[in-house]
Chain A
Amino acid sequence: MLGDARKAQEIFETTLREAAQRAAHGELPKEPFWLFREARWRCLEASKTSLEAEPLELDQHDLTPQASSQIEQLEPTQLAIWISGAPEPQRTALALFYLDEFDYREILDLTELKPGELSRLLALGRRQFQAWLNTRISDKPAL
């Protein structure tokens, strides 16, 4: 979400600390995923204050059967940086979707997006990431 491990760590700790305090006072909200919603808003707040990349019109490409082998050649941090560079709310949608912890209804609830929007943002993200992969990694298998 942030592309900055130190900031992410701070937000994670602050969110959990506040959750612990609220739990101690018996003030935990009853709504599901409030902790994730809280963490998301903190990330958005933090990214407002930091420098953001200029919004660019990224290239797009259809997904290829070789995509999975291209992805396997990536470092996890490369992916994390790519996702953190995406504009909101695409960034949240991609982050929550690829965490593989929520179904699409839960992501809709968390991001307050409409189903059509979520679908469009995910499809766009895939096509952009594929285009980025194509420029970075050769899709020919290494000999």
Chain B
Amino acid sequence: MNTQRLSRRQRALLNCAPISEERIRDRSMRSALFRASNSNEFANQRSFDRAVASLVGAIPIPPETAEWFSKKELIATPGRTWKKTARNPAALAIGIAVVVIAGVFVFQLLGRLNDFPGSATARKLLTIAGSTRSVLLDPVNADAGTLSDLFFMKHGLEHYDVPEEFADFPTIGCRVFDDDESRRIAQIWVTEKRMQFFLFPAERDVKTGAVLGFPGWRYVHQEGWVGAVTEHNGVCFMAALRGGERDLAPYIFKSKE
């Protein structure tokens, strides 16, 4: 076989045939080399190329240049900048996760800061307030403050007193029911801003049975409702209405005055 029988393209490839076998990376080159393997012309080229390459390899490298290659780290890899790190998808994902976890933690912490003994019950009662219709209550035409006698006489509920700041509001109706923990709850519906009052037993210490009281008024929020809760004689009173703290605050403020 000689190079005369090779195509023009194969001949062009042979002119560029790599000197070292390991640089033969494509099929067309391998095929051209195979076809020319018995050619004297190509054998001359190969030995010529190898001799020249070996001579090139013998060109002395000046010591100043060689020094560059003796350095352990020729080109220092740059330290990762904050910008680059932040753009890394893994870092970004971790960052987002941390922010979300921190957000949940802060949200729960803020929630806990507003907690007080009986706040869980108060929230449940706000849910009840949102779903109660006035027809469910026994119609009563009296001031809210007078209902404590009714609760004591009819249901045996001691100290279920409406605080004086809410005592003068005329009522639409009231009822007494047991919640899911069998606690006796008194519910009063008044005409003022369609407000509802709840009276329920204050939380007690599990071991000693002592009332877990708290001073003044505390606010709770649930599903668009707000409740102002206070504790007196082991009974909690909650005034609830649909809205925010601003709607309830004037009544509490009035009582403080």
Of all chain A residues, the one with the shortest Cβ separation from B22 is: A103
Total A-B residue contacts, Cβ distance less than 8 Å = 113
* Interface size grouping (class) on chain A: 35 or more
A interface residues (Cβ-Cβ under 8 A, vs B): 5, 9, 12-13, 16, 19-20, 23-26, 28, 63-65, 67-68, 71-72, 74, 76-77, 79-80, 97-100, 102-105, 107, 115-116, 118-120, 122-123, 126, 129-130
Of A104, A107, A120, the most chain B CB neighbours within 10 A belong to: A104
B24 at the interface (CB under 8 A from A): yes
Given contacts A9-B65, A16-B74, A23-B76, contact A76 B16 (CB under 8 A): no
Q: Is B12 a contact partner of A119 (Cβ separation < 8 A)?
A: yes
List the A side residues contacting B65 at CB < 8 Å.
9, 12-13
Of B15, B68, B77, the most chain A CB neighbours within 10 A belong to: B15
Q: Is A126 a contact partner of B45 (Cβ separation < 8 A)?
A: yes
Binary per-residue interface labels of chain B (8-37) against chain A in the complex, 1 for a CB within 8 Å, 0 otherwise: 000111011111100111100100000000
A110 to chain B, nearest CB (A): 13
Binds A, one of B54-62, B103-111, B115-123, B128-136: B54-62
Q: Is A79 a contact partner of B56 (Cβ separation < 8 A)?
A: yes
A to B CB contacts below 8 Å, 19 in the list? A16-B74, A19-B75, A20-B76, A23-B76, A24-B76, A24-B78, A71-B55, A72-B55, A76-B55, A79-B52, A97-B16, A98-B19, A98-B52, A100-B19, A103-B25, A104-B13, A105-B26, A115-B12, A120-B12
Number of interface residues of B (CB under 8 A): 43
Q: Is A67 a contact partner of B44 (Cβ separation < 8 A)?
A: yes
Give the docked Cα–Cα distance between A120 and B15 (Å). 8
> Which of A20, A65, A71, A129 is in CB contact (< 8 Å) with B75?
A20
List the A side residues contacting B58 at CB < 8 Å.
76
B interface residues (Cβ-Cβ under 8 A, vs A): 11-13, 15-20, 23-26, 29, 40-41, 43-45, 47-53, 55-60, 62, 64-65, 68, 74-78, 81, 84
Of all chain B residues, the one with the shortest Cβ separation from A72 is: B51
Q: Is B59 a contact partner of A76 (Cβ separation < 8 A)?
A: yes
Q: Is B48 a contact partner of A67 (Cβ separation < 8 A)?
A: yes
Q: Is B16 a contact partner of A119 (Cβ separation < 8 A)?
A: yes
Give the docked Cα–Cα distance between A28 and B43 (Å). 42
